[in-house]
Amino acid sequence: MNSFGRIFRVNVFGESHGESVGVNIDGIPAGIPLEQEDFLPDLERRKGGARGTTPRKEEDLPFLKSGVFNNRTTGAPVTILFENNNTRSADYAKLREFPRPGHADFVAAKKFGGFEDYRGGGHFSGRLTLNLVAAGVIAKKILGDNIQVNAVIKEVGGYADAEEGLEEAIKAKDSVGGIVECTVDGLPIGLGEPFFDSVESALAHAAFAIPAIKGIEFGAGFAAAKMKGLEHNDPIVDASGKTATNHAGGVVGGITNGNRLVFRVAVKPTSSTPKEQQTLNIASGQVETFSVKGRHDLCIALRVPVVLEAVTAMVLADFMLLEMRVPRVFAQ
Amino acid sequence: MNSFGRIFRVNVFGESHGESVGVNIDGIPAGIPLEQEDFLPDLERRKGGARGTTPRKEEDLPFLKSGVFNNRTTGAPVTILFENNNTRSADYAKLREFPRPGHADFVAAKKFGGFEDYRGGGHFSGRLTLNLVAAGVIAKKILGDNIQVNAVIKEVGGYADAEEGLEEAIKAKDSVGGIVECTVDGLPIGLGEPFFDSVESALAHAAFAIPAIKGIEFGAGFAAAKMKGLEHNDPIVDASGKTATNHAGGVVGGITNGNRLVFRVAVKPTSSTPKEQQTLNIASGQVETFSVKGRHDLCIALRVPVVLEAVTAMVLADFMLLEMRVPRVFAQ
Amino acid sequence: MNSFGRIFRVNVFGESHGESVGVNIDGIPAGIPLEQEDFLPDLERRKGGARGTTPRKEEDLPFLKSGVFNNRTTGAPVTILFENNNTRSADYAKLREFPRPGHADFVAAKKFGGFEDYRGGGHFSGRLTLNLVAAGVIAKKILGDNIQVNAVIKEVGGYADAEEGLEEAIKAKDSVGGIVECTVDGLPIGLGEPFFDSVESALAHAAFAIPAIKGIEFGAGFAAAKMKGLEHNDPIVDASGKTATNHAGGVVGGITNGNRLVFRVAVKPTSSTPKEQQTLNIASGQVETFSVKGRHDLCIALRVPVVLEAVTAMVLADFMLLEMRVPRVFAQ
Amino acid sequence: MNSFGRIFRVNVFGESHGESVGVNIDGIPAGIPLEQEDFLPDLERRKGGARGTTPRKEEDLPFLKSGVFNNRTTGAPVTILFENNNTRSADYAKLREFPRPGHADFVAAKKFGGFEDYRGGGHFSGRLTLNLVAAGVIAKKILGDNIQVNAVIKEVGGYADAEEGLEEAIKAKDSVGGIVECTVDGLPIGLGEPFFDSVESALAHAAFAIPAIKGIEFGAGFAAAKMKGLEHNDPIVDASGKTATNHAGGVVGGITNGNRLVFRVAVKPTSSTPKEQQTLNIASGQVETFSVKGRHDLCIALRVPVVLEAVTAMVLADFMLLEMRVPRVFAQ
């Protein structure tokens, strides 16, 4: 489904080269100050243009179509629309012959019988992360200033120094992957729902909706698999639940424990590498040489942090509204 | 919530040392042969008793309380009950003073105001994975013989040879973590739902419901973050979608591509290590020496494979019921 | 689906002549006092035995299988089981030939391919209302003493005096329908969710789950269709929202307005009339004379009030938990 | 929530005098021919302008913002936007003082703390039924030509002849209620889901989302309450399930039985009567004389048929997608 969340319910729609992409969000408390400008900083962070990111530039202006009155949320669903102005679909015409490796082209054609909008990845495009960022802006407002969500690049192409990794990729004329870490400070104890809606379950569910994410780990994560119990356990040191170490990443039994939430995601290299590839030509039935045209990020991981923050805020806002009893009316 | 799944809907309940644990499953097609014996092989695989697993032995007999008539499913919800016979709650009486590091004791008491059933982890206990295994048995029947789900131990305590890792742990008198890999063969192309219900999202959601899982990765996973695009991309080599490599782990754009599904989970070391720990005594307010009593697995990862298979089958059965039979394509 | 509710989530299961019927309820706040005895008064009200009700007597003892510890709810799902002891399935053997008019026999066989448990109506039996009554007992506790749900018989067989209507039916040796009215006092203003989860939508959804209900109306209901606007409108007379009249039945715009909630349901005559009927014999393919054996209520409406109260309380408890911020921990 | 449906999932948004109203629909199969013109006939039917309906005229052009490519659905969510061009909000400025009797003004202000968009009823306005009609057009396409949904006026102001009832209202200078009947031919046997998602439950749920509906009855409905069993029962007369009478309205045990589906809804008189009313002035705290300005229907029931058809088609399309294609029976 194209929706996510139990109380703070996010519905995304749109296609990369269609009329628009957009998001409809239900369950937002009334009274939250909200206007177009609030979205711009995070949308700017997401935008292409820096080294290693796509030269495609959209204005990415969010139009508030419903749910806001006198610059405040009304309690009714908020719909945000982004127009697609700067599309060059001709770039994609040839792609029907070569389903791009690593992209959804092949599976989408099978699943939707060829009726899918294939231009630029259509509904599978990274452009839909605009919607996540927009939803994240509202979610962050619900979390308030005391809960701080922060995602940063930890690695690009195997290098802890992202610049270095990117440099190397530019030199190699190939795309690269990366690792992004997200931390959240200020969370109350008790978010997360047994049995199936652990904080890890909900965050992983949302994170894997971001294109190109192929792994997620909390706290020590995969390193925990090599540790001993005494080493991994986080001793509780005071009545507030503070722990001496944080191998659990702030989640125990699927529930926040009041310590910093920490998790990392693995981002695969951009599938649209500038390199030539050997892959199937559907028309000829032969494996042939193919190279992707169009405008693409060399390292998609560079654009992930603000998107990861957004889905994290979405998940946590939902838990806060569900569990922690934030009031329906939320005047500031 | 304690439910999962959209069509094949699993509701778990019960406590480690309460009357029973059990599972109620809605959305099962009518006519599937089902009797108590069908559950025994997978329940046996899950059961403790081997080296490194808990000496607690329950009969673990599944009682079919509804939804089965003349040894076939009826289309009505199936409820399966496991009685708790072999509980030694006295072991846990002291735990209220020492919220066990790595366990839900502390967060559960905060979340449920002290009303939670704390005995043996209560509703947070690994004993509830009985329910998952039972649901998995039915899910596997829905998948049929042509879809094979298979999970195996890949690493214990850092050793590829599980025996060796376990030996080392026994020697060190400490618990250890591990890595479990799950593969699925025979899946059709097209399972998974844009935008939020990618196969990765759904599997990760379900996997993190299993206690002690702290990471998940698909295909190349975290290694992909260090790869280049040309290296990571899986060229399509024939019209069936077969790829030359499988770094994607059988999922592209969140949708199965007809190749083997591959993913791995990181399992933390059992929190109930036999070692002494320094942690907070709630009663005294002091950090004190504490050691866990009760019966526990030295390496919980050893019991994970059959549970991971079960949740994988649950997710895939749900997708199969949802997607492969609904006329997604509706050309007129 | 066999579940209902967004926060207070009720899952029913079981068959009339199977092992058991039961209910699993998620989303119950922790700390609510709960023991077997709490269920007995409402279960007693539902029980057959009075004139016009079925002579079948079950002990109808509710067994609490999970979610309760030290006689209080724990915040984990509560499962309640009713054993079926007093079944006489032989009575129903012949029914396969004659799908009983007014019953689900025919449609169930078509829908579930003949695998349904047909004995005594199986999963479609009125016996499953035991589950609703049990869930209602817990829901009423969540509503608290200040919210009073009360359902009463308004009409039997067209007579305002139920005794008279019943007398007439006994004389005519036929079953009869009736009308049940439910009122709720003490509700806060603001329950109900635009656009699809109006109070009327939710209550109607739940009410039509009760077998034999064929109509529902709020406030003036169908009579409103014959009224003029000035006559129907309820003028607001003070700042608390009190209205001079209550043609709206306490719901305006789908939302409770602080006045008494009032609605009525139409209950059809028991389909299992003692009269002979002319209907299809599936085996012979002919319309033949048939008469229902087994034990049945002459006027099913007589048993509806406590069930209607129960589903009403379920719906309102769900709204209260969702909207009015009843705390997770609910100590008394 | 502002969403409805399990597979065919409809999300409505917008306000009467805001920027727009619109609808986002997930779960539509790919390949359905769809363009703006397809919506116009049903939108025209809904539009005001006839005697007894509001003189407000919007172009009501549906703009397809996503999910359609080359005039066919793509399998991605379809978003349809209606711009609000012809608003006269000044008419509503005074309404804050007088919460209109019968309208949501008072409860909305309480529920959303005064942050609601109160202009013209805001999110509670009948204008949102545009969204339902649009969703209904797509739903009808899913049902196909063999399933015919048809709703008609049965009564206006107590008169079977709608013209007569309307005449009488115009003369009385007051608004009137009415009754609308909906029938569906061509349904398969087996739609509807035990226990809580009976066809009656789902249709009632959806119907009560339409503003001004205060009652619903299936088949004989409330008249059934006065009938005897032999009279009410519909004898089955052939192997296809055809019944001699249709007091059940085509639904038995909550499941369609292959006969014509029949139900009626009661529509209250338009709350915005032209008559003067005595009601609370919030500002003064006194009951005062008040009369509604703005443009309103004299008999809202006249506009209900196409809306009722729409929600009926939504519900049935959802059941068709959910039930008729899933292999409910799974014999091995």
Which of C30, C72, C113 is closest, CB to CB, to B30?
A: C113
* Cβ-based interface (< 8 Å): residues of C facing A: 6-7, 76, 194, 322-323, 325, 327-328
Please tell me the distance from the alpha carbon of residue A34 to that of residue B269, in angstroms, as a whole number: 46
Quick one: tokens of D87? 């608003």
Cα B271 from chain centroid? 17
Please tell me the distance from the alpha carbon of residue B291 to that of residue B277, in angstroms, as a whole number: 6
- Counted residue by residue, chain B has a size of 332
CA distance D192 to chain B (A): 13
D327 falls in which pLDDT band (50, 70, 90)? very low
Please tell me the distance from the alpha carbon of residue C307 to that of residue C132, in angstroms, as a whole number: 6
Asked if residue B332 belongs to a domain, the reply is no
Q: Which residues contact B238 (CB under 8 A, 6 or more apart)?
A: A280
The DSSP result for B171-224, as a single string, is HHTS-B-EEEEEEEESPPTT-SBTTTB-HHHHHHHHHTTSTTEEEEEETTGGGG
Asked if residue A78 belongs to a domain, the reply is yes
Asked if residue B331 belongs to a domain, the reply is no
H runs (alpha helix) in chain D: 36-46, 105-111, 129-143, 162-172, 199-207, 229-232, 304-319
Q: Which residues contact D167 (CB under 8 A, 6 or more apart)?
A: none
CA distance A198 to chain D (A): 23
pLDDT (tens digit, 9 = 90+) per residue, D119-147?
Answer: 989 999 999 999 999 999 999 999 999 99
Check the annotation: does D123 bind a ligand.
Answer: yes
- What CATH code is carried by the domain that includes residue B87? 3.60.150.10
Burial of C234 (0-12, 13-18, 19+ CB in 10 A): buried
Per the CB < 8 A criterion, the answer to whether D211 and D129 are in contact is yes
The DSSP result for D241-302, as a single string, is --BS--TTTTEETTEE-SSPEEEEEEEPPPSS-SS-EEEEETTTTEEEEE---S---S-GGG
pLDDT at A148 over 90: yes
pLDDT at D85 over 90: no
Domain with B136, as residue range(s), is 3-322
Quick one: tokens of A46? 């997401």
Asked if residue C328 belongs to a domain, the reply is no
Which of B66, B111, B112 is closest, CB to CB, to C13?
A: B66
H or E stretch including C286? Answer: strand C286-290
Cα C25 from chain centroid? 16
Q: What does the mean pLDDT of chain D come to?
A: 92
Q: Which residues contact D132 (CB under 8 A, 6 or more apart)?
A: D10, D12, D23, D209, D210, D307, D310, D311, D314
pLDDT at C49 over 80: no
Which chains have at least 3 CB atom pairs separated by less than 8 Å from chain A? B, C, D
A299 strand-pairing partners:
none
Residue type at C217 in one-letter notation: E
Per-residue model confidence (pLDDT) at position D296: 78
Which chains have at least 3 CB atom pairs separated by less than 8 Å from chain D? A, B, C
Q: Which residue has the tokens 């809606």?
A: A197
Q: Which of B274, B248, B251, B241 is nearest to B170 (CA)?
A: B274
Per the CB < 8 A criterion, the answer to whether C204 and D201 are in contact is yes
Check the annotation: does C272 bind a ligand.
Answer: yes
Per the CB < 8 A criterion, the answer to whether A296 and A305 are in contact is no
Domain count, chain A: 1
Asked if residue B65 belongs to a domain, the reply is yes
* Cβ-based interface (< 8 Å): residues of C facing B: 1-3, 9, 11-15, 18-22, 24, 26-27, 30-31, 64-67, 69, 72-79, 81, 111-113, 115-117, 119, 122-123, 328-329, 331
Suggest the residue from A19, A35, A115, A119 to mutate for an interface test with chain D (most D CBs closer than 10 A): A115
Check the annotation: does A56 bind a ligand.
Answer: no
A327 falls in which pLDDT band (50, 70, 90)? very low
Residue type at B285 in one-letter notation: G
* Dihedral, CA of residue C302, residue C265, residue C182 and residue C298, to nearest 10: 0
Q: Which residues contact A200 (CB under 8 A, 6 or more apart)?
A: A218, A251, A254, A263, B208, B213, B214
Per the CB < 8 A criterion, the answer to whether D189 and D250 are in contact is no
Which residues in chain D have Cβ-Cβ distances shorter than 8 Å to C103?
A: 252-253
Asked if residue D175 belongs to a domain, the reply is yes
Q: Which residue of C has its CA nearest to D328?
A: C112
Which residues in chain B have Cβ-Cβ distances shorter than 8 Å to D326?
A: 7, 29, 321-322, 325-326
Q: Which of C204, A1, B193 is nearest to D200 (CA)?
A: C204
Mean pLDDT of D88-116: 82
Whole-model pTM: value is 0.96
Q: Do A69 and D18 touch (CB under 8 A)?
A: yes
Report yes or no for ipTM above 0.90: yes
Check the annotation: does A124 bind a ligand.
Answer: yes
Please tell me the distance from the alpha carbon of residue A305 to that of residue A180, in angstroms, as a whole number: 6
Which of B6, B326, B329 is closest, CB to CB, to D321?
A: B326
Asked if residue A30 belongs to a domain, the reply is yes
Lowest mean pLDDT among C262-271, D71-80, D316-325: D316-325
Q: Give the number of beta-carbon pairs within 8 Å between A and C.
A: 12
Check the annotation: does A47 bind a ligand.
Answer: no
pLDDT (tens digit, 9 = 90+) per residue, C126-181?
Answer: 999 999 999 999 999 999 999 999 999 999 999 999 999 999 999 999 999 999 99
For A23, which DSSP code? E
Check the annotation: does A198 bind a ligand.
Answer: no
Per-residue model confidence (pLDDT) at position A89: 55
pLDDT (tens digit, 9 = 90+) per residue, C182-240?
Answer: 999 999 999 999 999 999 999 999 999 999 999 999 999 999 999 999 999 999 999 99
For D234-239, which contacts have Cβ atoms below 8 Å and span 24 or more sequence positions? D234/C101, D234/C102, D234/D259, D235/C101, D235/C277, D235/C278, D235/C279, D235/C280, D235/C287, D236/C99, D236/C101, D236/C106, D236/C279, D236/C280, D237/C279, D237/C280, D237/C287, D238/C280, D239/C280, D239/C282, D239/C285
SS3 A110: helix
Per-residue model confidence (pLDDT) at position A66: 98
CA distance D141 to chain C (A): 22
Which of A2, A3, A115 is closest, CB to CB, to D72?
A: A115
Suggest the residue from B205, B292, B307, B323 to mutate for an interface test with chain A (most A CBs closer than 10 A): B205
Asked if residue B327 belongs to a domain, the reply is no
Please tell me the distance from the alpha carbon of residue C137 to that of residue C34, in angstroms, as a whole number: 10
Which of B1, B14, B115 is closest, CB to CB, to C66?
A: B14
SS3 A201: helix
CA distance B135 to chain C (A): 16
Which residues in chain C have Cβ-Cβ distances shorter than 8 Å to B22?
A: 65-66, 79
pLDDT (tens digit, 9 = 90+) per residue, A76-115?
Answer: 999 999 999 866 555 555 567 899 999 999 999 999 999 9
pLDDT at D321 over 80: yes
Q: How far is CA A192 from CA A9, A258, C75, D308, in A?
A: 17, 12, 13, 40
Q: What does the mean pLDDT of chain C come to?
A: 91
Residues of chain B with pLDDT under 50: 326-328, 331-332
Q: How far is CA C234 from CA C178, C219, D209, D279, D298, in A?
A: 28, 11, 20, 9, 18
H runs (alpha helix) in B8-85: 36-46
Please tell me the distance from the alpha carbon of residue C60 to that of residue C74, in angstroms, as a whole number: 24
Which residues in chain A have Cβ-Cβ distances shorter than 8 Å to D67?
A: 13, 15, 123
